[in-house]
Amino acid sequence: MRIVIVDDSGARASVLEEGLREAGYDDIHFVPPRGAFVARIERMAPDVVLMDLGSPSRDTLEEMLLVSRALAKPIAMFVDQSDDMMIGAAIDAGVSAYVVDGLRKDRVRPILELAVRRFTAFSRMQSELDEARAALANRKTIDKAKAILMAQRGLNEADAYALLRSTAMNQGRRLVDVAEALITASSLLGGGNT
């Protein structure tokens, strides 16, 4: 597992490194939060990012949260102090573990594992949500195409669906693609149910 530590403090970074090495991780890289560090992190293609911010200013925190959004990887963030606004911003940005005043080497491994598990669970839920949204959009498109066939050809709903389905099978296309083509054609021809 490739781990990138974003840290400006050598002493604090060494605590993270010790905890990681004791836990059996050895592909560890350090990136100071300066310059084009987000691009450097992306090129490294880490599996996990650990951000040690100490007592971050609002600007520093916002910059780190941009990293979280850009990378789409498990991220654990360590801070010395926090407030509700900072916690909310971190959660909204997709930080998987947000640890306040808890930088100890014996806590690094469980926090890393938590970040990976939470990221995986969130990614799975996001994929399921995206699939459900796509299925709903497809269903609406198919229903609209059925309505056009019902109005223009006098078919009942079952027959309209059967016609769409057989056309899709005969053309080797997805049902939703045939439905979209029908909706477009009807619109171009001035159909009434578009």
The DSSP bridge partners found for residue 75 are 49
Structure tokens at 44: 């490294």
**Residue 87, H or E segment:** helix 84-92
Radius of gyration for the chain, computed over Cα atoms and rounded to the nearest angstrom? 26
Determine the Cα angle at 113 with ends 132 and 130, to 5°: 10
DSSP 29: E
Q: What's the predicted TM-score (pTM) here?
A: 0.65
Structure tokens at 15: 């605590």
Question: pLDDT digit string (tens) for 56-65?
Answer: 666 666 776 7
- From the list 39, 33, 83, the residue with the least C-alpha distance to 50 is 33
The gap from C-alpha 41 to its chain's centroid, in whole angstroms, comes to: 17
**Which pLDDT score, from 0 to 100, does residue 192 have?**
55
Do residues 52 and 103 make contact, with C-beta atoms less than 8 angstroms apart? yes
Q: Cα–Cα distance between 125 and 94 in angstroms, integer?
A: 13
Taking CA atoms, 122 is separated from 55, 70, 91, 152, in Å, by 27, 16, 11, 45
List the structure tokens of 79. 């801070």
Beta strands at 75-79 and 97-100: parallel, antiparallel or unpaired: parallel
User: Burial, 112: exposed, middle or buried (Cβ in 10 Å; 0-12, 13-18, 19+)?
Assistant: buried
pLDDT for 102? 66
Beta bridge partners of 48: 3
Q: Which residue ranges in the chain fall short of pLDDT 50? A: 194
What's residue 60's pLDDT?
64
CB 70 within 8 A of CB 48: no
Query: Tell me, what DSSP letter sits at residue 129?
Result: H
